[in-house]
């Protein structure tokens, strides 16, 4: 792999030195799969984050904590990741690029990149939190991190934590792309928690490949809350999502086509969850 426009490739002795370099304008590099495709316009220092002890997966407060330089392949091979939320993270990861891409790509680099992602909708649906350092350590919901545009500020992501959903919960992910190795034209991640009367206690419906990092369908989530998980409720939710999604047109698909896909993928995700929880 080679990256253009590097003035110095810095191997920092510790996280503090890495953060200081990034705050001084250096570009953090993890797997380099995105930096390589989008090198800086002018020569810049780069900081190799893979020399820091930021890789690894551990059980954490009933969920899983994943270090930022953990590769997507390492995540895919980990039994704790495979077990979380009925396996939806693993289901999604096998659809991210190719095995070669996943061998290099890291979770921290992916989240810092913050666009065109299969990973982010699933992590948002699971209420993941993110930890980063910009001179001091911070932990925040992933949704808040993107809402506040923090991924565009000088910082180093150090880990992501995925909580285990409640007992009566189901999650699903669907991706629609032209070929198996391509970015999605549209994707969708949903999670439903049921209460002890089998009504929906909490819902997450997230659509990816929109102009935003990923669009949380808040009105659909409010509509679902408190209702039974029936085919009629699912159909209405899917139609609401199609009407509300901030779809865009680009060289891969029109906004109208993406709206149709939204209805189909939301319906399929919610139906899959209903079948699993029946
Ligand atoms: C051929 C190809 C196919 C792909 N297919 C898919 C797909 O199907 N689905 C999908 O979701 N994605 C896909 N991607 C995107 C891929 O998942 C990302 O490029 C990858 O995850 C980025 O991780 P990285 O470690 O290589 O990041 P890097 O390239 O190292 O960095 C990416 C960005 O994050 C910054 N950065 C890196 N690490 C950190 C950190 N810890 N803290 C703060 N900033 C950091 C870098 O400065 C850079 O701006 C594809 C990419 C390619 C090249």
- Determine whether the shortest distance from the Cβ of 34 to ligand 1 is under 6 A: yes
* Confidence band, pLDDT 50/70/90 cuts, at residue 1: low
CA-nearest residue, atom 53 of ligand 1? 33
Q: How far apart are CA 56 and CA 110, in angstroms?
A: 16
Q: Using H for helix, E for strand and C for coil, what is the string for 164-224?
A: CCCCCEEEEEEEECCCCCCCCCEEEEEEEEECCCCEEEEEEEEEECCCCCCEECHHHHHHH
Region at 214 (left for phi over 0; alpha for psi -120 to 50; beta for the rest): beta
Does 3 score more than 80 pLDDT? no
- For the chain, give the mean pLDDT: 96
- Ligand 1: does its nearest atom lie under 6 Å from the Cβ of 35? yes
pTM for the complete prediction?
A: 0.97
The protein residue with its alpha carbon nearest to ligand 1, atom 44, reads 112
27 lines ligand 1 (CB under 6 A): yes
CA geometry: angle at 214 spanning 228 and 65, to 5°?
85
Q: Whose CA is nearest to atom 14 of ligand 1?
A: 97
pLDDT in tens, 131-188: 999 999 999 999 999 999 999 999 999 999 999 999 999 999 999 998 887 889 999 9
The length of the chain, given as a count of residues: 278
- Residue 73 CB–ligand 1 contact under 6 Å: no
Residue 6 scores a pLDDT above 80:
yes
Domains contained in the chain, CATH given:
6-50 (no CATH), 57-162 (3.30.465.10), 169-277 (3.30.390.50)
């Amino acid at each position: 792999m080679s990256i253009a426009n590097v003035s110095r490739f810095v191997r920092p002795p510790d996280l503090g030195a890495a953060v200081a370099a990034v705050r001084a304008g250096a570009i953090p590099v993890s797997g380099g799969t995105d930096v390589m495709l989008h090198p800086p316009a002018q020569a810049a220092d780069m900081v190799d984050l893979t020399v820091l002890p930021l890789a690894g997966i551990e059980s954490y407060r009933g969920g899983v904590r994943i270090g930022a330089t953990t590769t997507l392949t390492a995540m895919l091979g980990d039994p704790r990741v495979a077990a979380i939320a009925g396996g939806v993270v693993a289901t999604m990861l096998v659809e991210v690029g190719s095995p070669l891409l996943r061998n290099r790509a890291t979770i921290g680099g992916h989240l810092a990149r913050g666009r065109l992602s299969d990973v982010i909708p699933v992590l948002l649906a699971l209420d993941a939190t993110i930890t980063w350092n910009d001179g001091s350590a911070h932990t925040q919901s992933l949704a808040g991190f993107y809402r506040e545009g923090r991924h565009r500020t000088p910082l180093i992501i150090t880990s992501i934590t995925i909580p285990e959903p409640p007992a009566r919960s189901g999650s699903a992910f669907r991706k629609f792309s032209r070929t198996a190795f391509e970015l999605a034209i549209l994707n969708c991640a949903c999670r439903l928690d049921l209460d002890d009367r089998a009504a929906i206690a909490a819902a997450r419906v997230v659509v990816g490949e929109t102009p935003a990092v990923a669009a949380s369908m808040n009105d659909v989530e409010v509509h679902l809350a408190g209702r039974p998980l029936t085919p009629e409720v699912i159909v209405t939710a899917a139609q609401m999502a199609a009407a509300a999604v901030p779809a865009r047109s680009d060289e891969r698909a029109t906004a109208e086509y993406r709206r149709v896909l939204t209805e189909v993928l939301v319906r399929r995700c919610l139906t899959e969850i209903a079948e699993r929880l029946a």
